[in-house]
Amino acid sequence: MNSKGEEGDFLKLEEEKARAIISEINFGKGLVTAIARDFRTKDILMVAHMNKQALIKTLTTGFVHYWSRSRKKLWLKGEKSKNYQLLKGVWIDCDGDSLIFDVEQIGGACHMGYRSCFFRRLKDDRFKIMLRRKFKPEKVYE
């Protein structure tokens, strides 16, 4: 497996290199905004947060990890649903406080069963569901 993030491979770094990258990130109050997008289509799949531990795990395993603010714990995307995100590339914004992750999404990214968390669009005067469900959440989550 190489670390180029090319199609067919996923991005995976040695821990020393991952820790060096961490020094360039502005975690502010301990978290950085993490945007996951499909590496092929560039569709936004979800927005979450990462702490240093989540980012190091992501960079060293090639599987995207996040920090759950509600549960106050580290979580591997797909740990319950098996809808993993394989890391393909990483972008950083000018302030160093937001990251975009190009990922290969296995199954749906949204806990409500959709490919993307952005499955509703404002149409006329209300939000309308624009995507079909990839899975039934009640069968995946307790």
Instruction: For 9-67, write each residue's pLDDT tens digit.
Output: 899 999 999 999 999 999 999 999 999 999 999 999 999 999 999 999 999 999 999 99
CA 66 to chain centre: 7
**pTM of the full predicted structure?**
0.89
pLDDT tens profile 72-120:
999 999 999 999 999 999 999 999 999 999 999 999 999 999 999 999 9
Is the pLDDT at 124 greater than 80? The verdict is: yes
Domain ranges of the chain: 15-110
What does the pLDDT average to over 116-125?
A: 96
Match domain 15-110 to its CATH number in 3.40.50.2300, 2.60.40.10, 3.10.20.810, 3.30.720.120.
Answer: 3.10.20.810
